[in-house]
Chain A
Amino acid sequence: MTNTRETLEKAIQVIKIEIDPEERNILHDDLIQFLEWLKPLKALDTSGVTPVRFSHVAVNAFRDDQALSCDLKEVRKAAPNFDEGFYTVPPIIE
C-alpha cells in the first residue's frame, strides 16, 4: 500500500483533471478502503480460468460502410467552439 498515494497522483495526472488537495485526500482514504474491500477477491483461486473477453453474446456483425448525412448546423450547435466546418481548440503551437 506504500505506493498508493503516488499511483493515485499519477492517475489524476493521466486523466487530466483539476482536483483540489482536500478532495485528493478524500479520494486517497476511499481508495485505501476500496482496496481493503477487494482483498478477498484477490485471494480467490482463479488459476486456469479464462478471463471474459467479450461482455455480451454478440459477435462481429458486419454491414456496408456508408457515409451518413450530418447536418453541420446541428453539429455546430452541440460543439463548444466551431468555425468554418472545424472544431477549434486553443493554440498548441506557439
Chain B
Amino acid sequence: MNLNEMTVVKTAEAVNNQEISARYLIERTLEQIKNNVKLNAFACTAGAEAFEQADAVDQKIKSGYSLPLAGIPLAVGDNIAYKELPTAYGSAAFRKFKPPFSAAAVEKLIGAGAVVVGKINTGDMGFSSHKALSPAGPVMNPWKENRISESPGSAALAARQCMLALESDSEGSLRQGASSCGMYGFRPTPGRVSRYGLNLSSGSYDQVGFAASTATDMGITFQATSGYDERDILTSVSREAGPKPDPNKAPGEITLAFSPECFDQLDSISAKHLKQFQAKCLDLGFKVVESSLKLLPEALKAFYIIAYAEASSSFARFDGIRFGTAAEADELEDLYYKTRKLTFGHEARRRSVFGTYILSKGNFEQYYQQALKVWTLVRQDFNNAMANCDFLVMPVVSGAAPSGIEENDFLQRIESDIFTAPVSMACLPSLALPAWQEDGLPAGIQLVGHPFSDEILLNVAEMINTETIFPDTDKSAWEEG
C-alpha cells in the first residue's frame, strides 16, 4: 500500500477495514514532519496524546465501530483552541498557553476519528503569515524554495505532513495558500461550522475552514463538522435546512459565471489560464455566462476598514489578567502596556492602532460608517452577479505564490486580497481548487456559491475533478507504507 496515493476517503476505509492501524499512520506522519522541518509548517507537534488518540480509534474499530475520518492525521491552526497542545496565536507570549477547552470543530473531527498531529504556525495573532510575520517566521511553500504559503495547513498537506488541516479564513489566506500549494481550501457559509474556540480578530469575517487534497475529502470533513452548536449563535442558521445537493444533477444543468472585471485585475499569464479554465468548463458541459462584479476595489477598501476596526476592539481582551502571559508590572496600567507589547507583533499593533484611529471622533463617519454603507452595496453587487448563475468562478490571486514579506509593502500585500476578501464580505461559501501550473508553481480558482449551497458547491468541484498533484518533496516516511 503506497500511502502517497491515499486520500482521506481511502485511508479511513483502510483503517476501518483494519488493513492499517491509526497508530501506524500517526507514526509515519510524525516522521514525515521531522523529515522536512525547514517547511516550518508546525508550531508544535503532538507526542503521547496523538498515540493515545490513535489507539482509541484502533480500539473502537476493533469493537465494531466505523469512523468517517478513522486515523486521519489532522493539523490544527495555532489560533484554534486544542486543550492538549499549546495554542500560541503566533505570539511569543502564548507559546506555553494551553486553553482549558478545545474548539467545537476540533472536538467534532476527533469524534469522527481524526488524530491531531500538531498545531500549525500562523502569523502574528493568527493573521496570514504573508501579512504578519510571527516569531516563528514564515511557512515555506513546498513547491519552490524562497516561496511562502499563506496557508500553513495547505503547505503541510502538500508536503504530506498531514491529510487534513483545520484553519481560519478571513481575508482569504486559507484559499490563497491552498491555491499556491495546489490544494483545496474551503471557507463554508458563515454559520455552517461553529467558530467556538477560534481566536477572533474580526468577528464579521473570521471563519473556520479546511484544507484537503480532494473535493470528496472536503465533503466528508464538512459533513463531520457542520451543524448547530449552542456555543456559537451564528450556527443557529444551520437549524434551517439549506438547499439539498442533487447527486443526479448534470453539468448542463449548472450555470457558472465568469466576471470580466476579474480578468481586468489579473496579470496576463493568470488571465490566459483563467480563459483556458473557462473553456474547460464549457468542455465539461457546464453552462458558462458572464456576470459583472463592479465593486471589487471598493469592497477591498471597506473590508480593511472594518477588519482593522474590529481587530482594535477584539484585541482589548489581551490584557494579561485572565489568560496567557503577564508582563512584570507594579501598576495595573503598566501591566496593560507591557503585556500588549509582549503579546502583539508589528501587524497586530498596526491593526489595533489603525482600527482605533478609524473609530476615533472625526474619523468614524468618514471611514467606518462609509465602509458599512459600501458593505451594503457590495452585497447587492454579489446578489446581482449571482442572480443568473449557480456559481461564480473567480481567481484566487493574481500571479503565483508570494516570495515573502518585504519591508514597507503592506498595501501591496493587502491588494493581493482583491478576489478573496470581497467574497468573505458577501458571506458566501467559497472553495479554492487546483486549476493550473505555471513555471513549476500551482495556482487555483475559487468557486463561489449562494449562501448555504456548500454541499452543492463541493459536488460541482467533484464534477470539475481537477487532479491534485503533490510537489516532489521527500516522501520517504510514506513510501515505507
Enumerate A47-91 residues with CB–CB distance to B below 8 Å: 49-53, 55-61, 63, 71, 74-75, 77-81, 87, 89-91
Indicate if the CB atoms of B373 and A46 lie closer than 8 Å: yes
With A55-B204, A71-B100, A87-B322 in contact, is A50–B373 under 8 Å at CB? Answer: yes
Indicate if the CB atoms of B99 and A78 lie closer than 8 Å: yes
A49 contacts across to B, CB distance below 8 A: 373-374, 376-377
Indicate if the CB atoms of A89 and B356 lie closer than 8 Å: no
The size class of the interface chain A forms with chain B is 35 or more
Enumerate B316-347 residues with CB–CB distance to A below 8 Å: 316, 320-326, 329-338, 340-341, 344, 346
- Taken together as a complex, chains A and B put the C-alpha atoms of A90 and B353 apart, in Å, by 26
- Taken together as a complex, chains A and B put the C-alpha atoms of A57 and B450 apart, in Å, by 13
Select the residue from A3, A15, A19, A58 with max chain B CB neighbours within 10 A.
A15
A60 contacts across to B, CB distance below 8 A: 233
Contact with A along B211-237 (1 / 0, CB 8 A): 000000000000000000010011111
- Taken together as a complex, chains A and B put the C-alpha atoms of A87 and B335 apart, in Å, by 14
Indicate if the CB atoms of B335 and A51 lie closer than 8 Å: no
Among the 9-residue stretches B117-125, B127-135, B177-185, B296-304, the one with 4 or more Cβ atoms under 8 Å from chain A is B296-304
With A38-B305, A80-B326, A90-B334 in contact, is A27–B353 under 8 Å at CB? Answer: yes
Indicate if the CB atoms of B427 and A57 lie closer than 8 Å: yes
Indicate if the CB atoms of A61 and B233 lie closer than 8 Å: yes
B263 at the interface (CB under 8 A from A): no
With A38-B367, A41-B374, A92-B332 in contact, is A18–B338 under 8 Å at CB? Answer: yes
- Taken together as a complex, chains A and B put the C-alpha atoms of A40 and B367 apart, in Å, by 11
Indicate if the CB atoms of A16 and B373 lie closer than 8 Å: no
B366 at the interface (CB under 8 A from A): yes
Indicate if the CB atoms of B321 and A87 lie closer than 8 Å: yes
B237 contacts across to A, CB distance below 8 A: 56-58
B236 contacts across to A, CB distance below 8 A: 58-59, 61
A12 contacts across to B, CB distance below 8 A: 353
B427 contacts across to A, CB distance below 8 A: 55-57
Contact with A along B354-379 (1 / 0, CB 8 A): 10110010110011011111111101
Indicate if the CB atoms of A41 and B326 lie closer than 8 Å: no
A23 contacts across to B, CB distance below 8 A: 346, 349
Indicate if the CB atoms of A15 and B357 lie closer than 8 Å: no
Residue of B97, B234, B332, B344 near A78 (CB, 8 A) is B97
A37 contacts across to B, CB distance below 8 A: 301, 411
A50 contacts across to B, CB distance below 8 A: 373, 376
B451 at the interface (CB under 8 A from A): yes
Indicate if the CB atoms of A11 and B190 lie closer than 8 Å: no
- Taken together as a complex, chains A and B put the C-alpha atoms of A16 and B372 apart, in Å, by 27
16 more A-B contacts (CB under 8 A) besides A27-B353, A38-B367?
A: A11-B356, A17-B336, A19-B353, A30-B408, A33-B410, A33-B411, A34-B354, A40-B298, A52-B375, A57-B190, A58-B233, A71-B100, A74-B101, A77-B100, A78-B324, A91-B331
